[in-house]
Amino acid sequence: MKRPEVSVRGKNVPRSAIRKLVPFAKDREKTGVKIYKLNIGQPDVETPVEFWEGVRNFKEKVLAYAPSEGRPELIKSFVQYYNNLGFDITAEQLVVIMGGIEGILFAVLAVTDPGDEIIVAEPYYSNYLGVAAMAQVKFVAFSTTVECGYHLPDKAEIVKKITPRTKAMLFASPGNPTGCVYTRQEMEMLAEIAKEHGLFLLSDEVYREFTYDGEFATSILQIPGTEDCGIVIDSVSKRYSACGARLGCIVSKNKEVISSVLANATVRLSAGTLDQVAIANCINVPDSYFKAVRQDYVERRDIVVKALNSVDDVVCRTPKGAFYIMAKLKGIDTEVFAKWLLTDFAIDNETVMIAPGAGFYATEGCGRDEIRIAYVYKAPIMKRAMEVLCAGIRAFRQKNQSAS
Amino acid sequence: MKRPEVSVRGKNVPRSAIRKLVPFAKDREKTGVKIYKLNIGQPDVETPVEFWEGVRNFKEKVLAYAPSEGRPELIKSFVQYYNNLGFDITAEQLVVIMGGIEGILFAVLAVTDPGDEIIVAEPYYSNYLGVAAMAQVKFVAFSTTVECGYHLPDKAEIVKKITPRTKAMLFASPGNPTGCVYTRQEMEMLAEIAKEHGLFLLSDEVYREFTYDGEFATSILQIPGTEDCGIVIDSVSKRYSACGARLGCIVSKNKEVISSVLANATVRLSAGTLDQVAIANCINVPDSYFKAVRQDYVERRDIVVKALNSVDDVVCRTPKGAFYIMAKLKGIDTEVFAKWLLTDFAIDNETVMIAPGAGFYATEGCGRDEIRIAYVYKAPIMKRAMEVLCAGIRAFRQKNQSAS
């Protein structure tokens, strides 16, 4: 009689730093305290009517598997979407995926073997770490800083991270958690490094629609010479505020990459059929929808930046994309702070939940004084939430000063 | 300037044997030949009205992420479903997954490290191989035969496959591709081996509802003493004829397993929200639905078995579950035969597409004279399809005899 043991990797799946805070939030809510959840990227923006129209128009009697590469109408609508953006993409260069993370996983499996390395910019989207664990690859990070708005360092800083095991670079622009939108020059530099060193470029472009102040998110698909190395991971979660639809696509002009991705897509048979039909209809979402959403986010962002700048020793830059902002709270251990906000702090019976920065870094000790805020609520709510947060920062500092 | 290279595992994702036949089928269809597709498990059974009711009743304005463990109403309905079956399951013992394959992957990741071994019965569901490749584990197979209806061999035959790297056994009952339903004694034997050798038991039970002739699919959850080792992978694809819904669950009483599965579920954020709400409502599907479906399948199965038995040198047993049948076509190389059916054969401008048996075996050379038939069409269509197939077997044999 022997008890079976969970595997090493089974034990070590990276647990989300944010998730650790959830029990504290739940306990506090039970005491009647209201918590503004600035810790997650779930926008309050309404899913466009075109999605629900698509759902209603589905008349098939059997909810059958979709083809592994995706339903034809969805592939067609994605191709049209890219063509509208001026990207020269065909149906054969695209595989439908069940959300950005599946896309990252299939792309990573296509370009790495276990033990291989992928270069990433820190801070990065923390769920990438889970993919690295599943695929048994190592992320090698170079640093970007709040002072530089999390833009890329010099080419030499990136190149020196390359080893014989490096197979790819993975980056996101507009970035989660930073909100940083890489310039065309930065995208060209990444492409140059990839080409010079025979690396793949995994470009997570799921926040493409969310750029502000006239900024434009350059896609790797727009950089000449990336036909072999460029792999775009895209998702409809944020584009159509349809996080629950679990759909996106991988785009690459490299046929071997697409063949490998498609083989893995075949293993899991199909993405959701009804979601695919509904999202296909979202090609009809008018520009005015996106314009209104962008205006909304600019207003929210400005509220957050203004509030943070009103507090001493808080460093942040105005992000140009996505709906996140990273800020440095000088002298504050943000893991302790985030927990304290949930367990001890409140004004008028309200508090906030934020994501501590360290969870977005692989390098031990990095990001300990940073936080990520998702500005996912309407402006008046964001305003109030920021008042509460700023009061929290001041109160936490005061408490620590009195203690020392 | 270097061209990046796809990885070894990227190149070697197992390509489905059936998929290789698809281009031949497409080409033939262009010539106006009708093809009965007996090669895939996509039933023609209508998705129950309760699913569409669930879709219509969804009134949220934002299609948000679901919790990573699943929407509360779906978890509740799954718990009720198991309780109705007499299985003592609670919400904490269950994680919602995006289809059976994701479930197998998360279970395999929880219990194995790269290079570990999992014991399987051959023939097995071929997509398992893709999971093994993703997880970098080795499947070690023992054989079951058409003559024994693909039931398990003696305990000693299974035990002798155990090595120091063996971490788990993975099996499906009712089985795909065999249709075999393991007896309670067989399930007890598997549990005994697991307990004696400290192995996990991954039990793929997605065809639970599909048993015939008074047969009952024993769940590993019903075998005493499997609290530590038992992991059930379940799916709604077949249960509610909702293959396009990409939903199911992992059930285990082992807390470490559930914790690991949940951590990986958190990495990919959420299963589809709308599908979850709709499937939750399927707890209201009446027993009469399943009774009618089972009656339908028995009729179809009997048509297939009768037809196959009318051909000389074809060996098959009457399967008691799922909607597949494996048959041995003595002396026929079924890969050649399956292709020939698509490229050269027709009667009255009709032919059939079948799955060659070798794709369901890991052992080189095994299953070369076997085929899998999915009886997924209504009885009159199945009858005609089997006439065409049987004519095909006879014609292929005649052709080969004249050639030799």
Tens digit of pLDDT for each residue in B378-388?
999 999 999 99
pLDDT band at B353 (very low <50, low <70, confident <90, very high): very high
pLDDT tens for each residue of A6-35: 999 999 888 777 778 989 999 999 999 999
Query: Chain B contact for A199, CB < 8 A?
Result: yes
Mean pLDDT of A37-56: 93
Name the pairing type of β-strands A350-353 and B350-353: unpaired
Pull the structure tokens for residue B250.
């992992």
For chain A, what are the domain ranges?
10-39+287-403, 49-284
Which residue, B209, B200, B143, is CA-closest to B173? B209
* CATH for B49-284 (2.60.40.420, 1.20.1630.10, 3.40.640.10, 3.20.20.70): 3.40.640.10
Can you give chain A as a three-state secondary structure string?
CCCCCCCHHHHCCCCCHHHHHHHHHHHHHHCCCEEEECCCCCCCCCCCHHHHHHHHHCCCCCCCCCCCCCCHHHHHHHHHHHHHCCCCCCHHHEEEECCHHHHHHHHHHHHCCCCCEEEEEECCCCCHHHHHHHHCCEEEEEECCHHHCCCCCCHHHHHCCCCCCEEEEEEECCCCCCCCCCCHHHHHHHHHHHHHHCCEEEEECCCCCCECCCCCCCCHHHCCCCCCCEEEEEEHHHHCCCHHHCCEEEEECCHHHHHHHHHHHHHCCCCCHHHHHHHHHHHHCCHHHHHHHHHHHHHHHHHHHHHHHCCCCEECCCCCECCEEEEEECCCCHHHHHHHHHHCCCECCEEEECEEHHHHCCCCCCCCCEEEEECCCCHHHHHHHHHHHHHHHHHHHHHHHHHC
Reported as a single tens digit per residue, the pLDDT across B252-275 is: 999 999 999 999 999 999 999 999
Spatial distance between the Cα atoms of A21 and A37, rounded to a whole number of angstroms: 11
Residue A98: which of A218, A226, A215, A268 has the closest Cα? Answer: A268
Token representation of residue B94: 């269950």
Fold of B9-46+287-403: Aspartate Aminotransferase, domain 1 (3.90.1150)
User: Do the Cβ atoms of A228 and B4 come within 8 Å?
Assistant: yes
CATH (residue range A10-39+287-403): 3.90.1150.10
> Starting at the edge strand that comes first in sequence, how are the strands of the sheet with B138-143 ordered?
B94-97, B248-252, B230-235, B200-204, B166-172, B117-122, B138-143
Q: Which of the residues B1, B3, B5, B6 would you substitute to probe the A interface, choosing the one with the greatest number of A C-beta atoms within 10 Å?
A: B6
Note the pLDDT tens digit of each residue in A349-370: 999 999 999 999 988 889 999 9
Q: Is the pLDDT of residue A404 over 80?
A: no
Predicted local confidence at residue B15, as pLDDT: 78
User: According to the model, what pLDDT value does residue A278 have?
Assistant: 98
The residue among A1, A3, A7 with the most chain B CBs within 10 A of its CB, best to mutate, is A7
d(C-alpha B82, C-alpha B232), whole Å:
12
Note whether B223 and B187 are within 8 A (CB): yes
Q: What's the gap in Å between the CA of A228 and the closest CA on chain B?
A: 7
Minimal-distance CA residue of chain B relative to A44: B62
Is there a contact between A342 and A354 (Cβ–Cβ < 8 Å)?
no
Q: Are A266 and B359 contacting, i.e. CB atoms less than 8 angstroms apart?
A: no
pTM (predicted TM-score)? 0.95
User: Which of B51, B113, B246 minimises the CB distance to A272?
Assistant: B246
Q: Which residues contact A226 (CB under 8 A, 6 or more apart)?
A: A191, A194, A195, A201, A220, A253
Neighbours of A40 (CB within 10 A): 16
Q: How far is A38 from chain B (nearest CA, A)?
A: 15
**For the segment B130-142, what is each residue's pLDDT rounded down to a tens digit?**
999 999 999 999 9
pLDDT above 80 for A288: yes
pLDDT tens for B65-113 read 999 999 999 999 999 999 999 999 999 999 999 999 999 999 999 999 9
- Closest chain A residue to the Cα of B45, Cα to Cα: A62
- Of B120, B41, B333, nearest to A64 (Cα)? B41
* Location of structure tokens 């050269």: B344
Nearest to residue B386, comparing CAs of B259, B261, B301, B264? B301
Alpha-carbon gap: A139 to the closest alpha carbon of chain B (Å)? 16
pLDDT over threshold 80, residue A155: yes
% of chain B residues with pLDDT over 70: 100
Tell me the pLDDT band of A100, cut-offs 50, 70 and 90: very high
**Residue A305 neighbours by CB under 8 Å, 6+ apart:** A316, A318, A325
Any chain B CB within 8 A of the CB of A284? no
Q: Is the Cβ of A229 closer than 8 Å to some Cβ of chain B?
A: yes
CA dist list (Å): B148 to A91, A241, B152, B277, B300: 47, 54, 8, 42, 22
- DSSP-derived secondary structure letter, B161: T
Determine the Cα–Cα distance for residues A307 and B309; give it in Å rounded to an integer. 79
pLDDT confidence tier of residue A103, bands split at 50, 70 and 90: very high
Q: Which residues of B touch A254 (CB under 8 A)?
A: 4, 6
Q: Which two tokens stand for residue A167?
A: 């197979």
**Long-range CB contact pairs, B303-309, < 8 A, 24+:** B303/B375, B303/B379, B303/B382, B303/B383, B303/B386, B304/B373, B304/B375, B304/B382, B304/B386, B307/B383, B307/B386, B307/B387, B307/B389, B307/B390, B308/B386, B308/B390
What's the confidence (pLDDT) of residue A1?
Answer: 73
Predicted confidence (pLDDT) at residue B13 exceeds the cutoff of 90: no
A50 at interface of B, judged by CB pairs closer than 8 A: no
Place B114 in a pLDDT band, splitting at 50, 70 and 90.
Answer: very high
Q: How far is A101 from chain B (nearest CA, A)?
A: 6
* CB atoms B62 and A46 under 8 Å: yes
pLDDT in tens, B187-217: 999 999 999 999 999 999 999 999 999 999 9
Model confidence at B44: pLDDT above 80: yes
Q: Sign of the C-alpha dihedral, residues B22, B25, B31, B34?
A: negative
Closest partner residue to A260 (CB to CB) among B11, B16, B99 is B11
Q: How confident is the model at residue B250 (pLDDT cuts 50, 70, 90)?
A: very high
How many H helices and E strands in chain B? 13, 13
Would the CB atoms of B62 and A55 count as touching at under 8 Å? no
Interface test with B, best of A268, A277, A293, A378 (most B CBs within 10 A): A268
The pLDDT assigned to A281 comes to 98
Q: Do B270 and A244 touch (CB under 8 A)?
A: yes
Contact B134 A267 (CB under 8 A): yes
The closest CB to that of A65, out of B3, B244, B271, belongs to B244
Contact criterion met (CB < 8 Å) for B4 and A112: no
Residue A175: is its pLDDT beyond 80? yes
Whether B331 contacts chain A with CB within 8 A = no
Size of interface A-B (CB pairs under 8 A): 249
Q: What is the pLDDT of residue B372?
A: 96
